[in-house]
Structure 1
Amino acid sequence: MTLAEHVEAVSAGSPLPPLATRVAEVGGSPVRDILAVTARPEVINFAGGLPAPELFDAEGIAAAYRDVLAEVPERALQYATTEGEPGLRAALAERTSRRGLATGADEILVTTGSQQALSLLATALLEPGDAVLVEDPCYLAALQAFRLAGARVIAVPGDADGIDPRALEELVTRERPKLLYTVPTFQNPTGRTMAAERRAAVAAVAARCGVWIVEDDPYGELRFEGERVPWIASYDGAGDRTVLLGSFSKVMAPGMRLGWLRAPAALRRACAVAKQAADLHTPTVNQLAAARYLTDRDLDAHVARVAGVYRERRDAMLAGIADALPAGSTWTRPEGGMFLWARLPESYDTTALLPRVVKQDVAYVPGAPFYAGEPDPATLRLCFVTQTPDEIAEGLRRLAKGLRR
């Protein structure tokens, strides 16, 4: 075909090559789709996983940006190293060490949100067809990241205390997975926390059977009550095979898109190579502003204030949930984090009911998309941190009306 013939064919509407199959198979996020539908201001939205914007320390963050741009603009607006700004890595290492896991700055890779960390790990570890083990149910965006990599995602049975270690070992032996992904503290979507003895058992399985653990901890600092449980990464046998993920999205501001991973050297270097191909580095000005904020402000005090407000909102949801849900429903009582998980009687399908509930100007997330295997259609997730106690009470009244038969 001559060039002229090619141009004529294109202009005549020749079909373009198709999109990658994995994109069509994985699809979009149901949570994002629900947020788009329920964006009307009159909707009381329990669907989003959004921190309360009125609690952002906007003044402190703005001051950090102003100072950085005034003092080192040539650095703040320039390219940076892939691994992250040294000052921020040092600060993150110090915070991690203070919380019980000795860490050096060189063990940290800064990412563009912890969601990018999941994508980098999927690129560095997974080949199409590899098995990945996840909790049941599981954080939805992690399922997306692993499925986009072509992995076989397999759910590990568990209960209110987290993953069942015996079932985990059986699956590791049978499926030979590359990794286990877990959010052990205030899990998304259930709000549950994995008990200490379960964490020790999971670490022991990983040590015996040879599997990576990806321990995601975006909510761990948002504790309202109870004692902090150590990271899995700190247990015997887990140190050389656990990747710990962290984020500023829930404790500082999600719009800064700042996360990090702590990983053994070889895997961390592989993730850095993957990051070079993805975005070269996380925005320099955001990193420098976060480092400045950690120097000038007391992030721990800010987090304590936020957690205090979130506790009041959790209590408001717990106070009204029994009247909002049908008789026979059950729900979790999280000790921190952002989410409450509920299960209605077996005759209910929360996906089918959602349009009727939205007509009452309230929204939740159906539980089905959070399952890697067979979903439980009677489940749903409620986020309790974005609304005030009065708004939560009104939202639960609307929810009761929408669920009423």
Structure 2
Amino acid sequence: MQVKISGATAQSIFESIREQVSSGALQAGYTLPPVRELAERLGVNRNTVSAAYQRLTQAGLAVTQGRLGTRITTPTHAGEQEGMTDTSLIDLADGSPCIEWLPDLDEVAGQTHFHQYLYGQATVLPAMLDYGRDWFAGSCPAEFAITLCNGAIDSMERLMAAHLVPGDSVVVEDPCYISSANAMRLAGMKVVGAAIDRFGMQPDALRAALSKGARAVLITPRAHNPTGACLSAQRAAEIRKVLTDYPNVLVMVDDHFALMASCEYHSVIPDSSLNWAVLRSVSKGFGPDLRMAFVAADKDSVQRINTRLAPGMSWVSRVLQSLVHTCLTSDTVQVHLAEVRGLCAKRRNMLIEALAGQGIHCPMTSDGLNVWVPVNGPSQAAAYELSRRGWLVRPGSAFDINQQSQAIRVSLQNLDEDKAGRFAKDLAVISA
């Protein structure tokens, strides 16, 4: 098959190929003509074709395989998502919080004073800035600024847009939270996995990835999803030491579970990092419709984020900010949040103990809404066997980047003591 590629410049050749990919004329897996051959056919310099192919690779439309040539890639899709289960099985796969754990929005609204604002006025309420400065004091380098985004994933996407270009590599924990990896891939980034253990990302794995040219790193300091691992003080110090040697790498810290966490926060950001950010979402504690994240970052990053927010009229609604501020400062909501934090820990320990009683140990999990449970053999097979016994869980393969996890993620929200005991017995049977 000879495709009809045209163009006299790198950009026009790129557009010609992109149009045919979009129309379906060029299918995934098709190998493009060698650079020399296409250059001769179009009557252009080989460097022109090479530049077009590089642009295709950066855009995620093609992949270069050395002597095997450049081929069209499979279109990126969103992949699995949280909260997308609809089944008659007992759902231990949905990582969302229980509806009963969330504050009563009618009560919150009744305690909130709302105001109308116009275009051109400050997009972040002064009370939210004050709260953010207090919340992050001591958690990151001293010179920081505060802004707000529509959740942790939105924050991460805006940081990548501000500092990275399609084709850049981003280091993540392996296994990695589904939504984070999806967002990076859809933005055209290359996702590189770094192995973790019970204390978080392993420093040697991080250094190896950075030495190959990665431009950013995403680290979860506590309640890592899916494993529940938390950074120890020693591990955080080891990671800081690695990052000290890479001051130009964008450091993103996803402290998504900050409102609910039992583990202490330990910073991984060295003073030498030029661009960094700590993201703290409130959706786990207050619910998905109060999805908002505080971003503490270097002043340059905050300026870039705010510059992109205001002209697009996509700042965080000041109505939403007012509701969140009420939740953060309401004694009633905070007492309820403390109760939920204790309930979450109780259920987590209940499941871990039930599994231990069946000889199944879960050393990775320290915090969060999930327990990372080792299994014998492929995780998909274990998940299938559990489904035959009435349980729905997430196989570890859903979160894998480079490795193959032999584990399943079990969420706590729908568990009670009886279900935990029955689940542990069923897992022990299929693991025998």
TM-score for both structures, normalised by structure 2: 0.75
Counting matched residue pairs gives 367
Match of 2:285, SS state, is coil
CA contact (8 A) 2:252 2:279 kept: yes
Cα distance, 1:230 vs. partner? 2.4
Distance in 2 of aligned mates of 1:344 and 1:81:
55
Distance in structure 2 (CA, Å) of the matches to 1:321 and 1:215? 31
1:109 has 2:147 as partner: yes
Letter in 2 for 1:208: D
Unaligned 5+ segments in structure 1 are 1-14
Query: What is residue 48 of structure 1 aligned with on the other side?
Result: 94
Secondary structure of the residue aligned to 2:383 is: helix
Partner of 2:219: 182
383, 386, 396: which one aligns with 1:367: 396
Residue in 2 that maps onto 1:296: 330
Report what 2:194 is aligned to: 156
Question: C-alpha separation between the residues in 1 aligned to 2:343 and 2:391?
Answer: 22
Could you say which residue in structure 1 is the equivalent of 2:41? none
Q: 1:349 aligns with which of 375, 378, 382?
A: 378
Deviation at 1:385, TM superposition (A): 3.5
The structure-2 alpha-carbon separation of the partners of 1:164 and 1:344, relative to structure 1 and needing over 3 Å to count, comes to same
Is 1:382 aligned with 2:375? no
Residue matched to 1:217:
255
Q: Greater share of helix residues, 1 or 2?
A: 1
**Alpha-carbon distance in structure 2 between the residues aligned to 1:367 and 1:81:** 46
Distance (Å, rounded) in 2 between the aligned partners of 1:382 and 1:182: 22
For residues 310-360 of structure 1, what are the alpha-carbon distances to aligned partners after superposition, in whole Å with 9 as ceiling and x for unaligned?
121012211222467xx7x55235332112112212xx3222443443343
| Counterparts of 2:179 and 2:426, CA distance in 1 | 28
Amino acid at match of 2:368: G
- Aligned pairs (5 A) from 1:308-323: 308-322=342-356
Give, in angstroms, the shift of residue 111 of structure 1: 1.0
CA distances 1:255-291 after superposition (whole Å, capped 9, x unpaired): 2111121111111222223434766112221111111
| Bigger Rg over Cα | 2
Closer, same or farther: CA 263–148 of 1 in aligned 2, 3 Å = same
- Hey, what's the Cα distance between the residues in 1 that align with 2:329 and 2:179? 32
2:283 equivalent in structure 1:
249
> Identity of paired residues, percent?
20
Instruction: Report what 1:5 is aligned to.
Output: none
1:88 alignment partner in structure 2: 128
Q: CA RMSD in A?
A: 3.2
Residue 281 of structure 1 is matched in structure 2 by 315
Conservation of the 8 A alpha-carbon contact between 2:140 and 2:278: no
Q: Contact 1:135–1:157 at 8 Å: present in 2 too?
A: yes
Pair 1:132–1:72, CA change in 2 (3 A): closer
CA distance in 2, matches of 1:17, 1:372: 27
Question: Offset at 1:240?
Answer: 4.5
Give TM-score scaled by structure 1 length.
0.79
Cα distance in 2 between the residues matched to 1:161 and 1:353: 26
**CA–CA distance in 1 between the matches of 2:181 and 2:215?**
15
Q: Could you say which structure has the greater relative contact order, defined with CA pairs below 8 angstroms and 6 or more residues apart?
A: 1
Q: What is the rounded CA distance, in whole Å, between the counterparts of 1:290 and 1:79 in structure 2?
A: 21
Asked if structure 2 preserves the Cα contact closer than 8 Å seen for 1:312 and 1:389, the reply is no
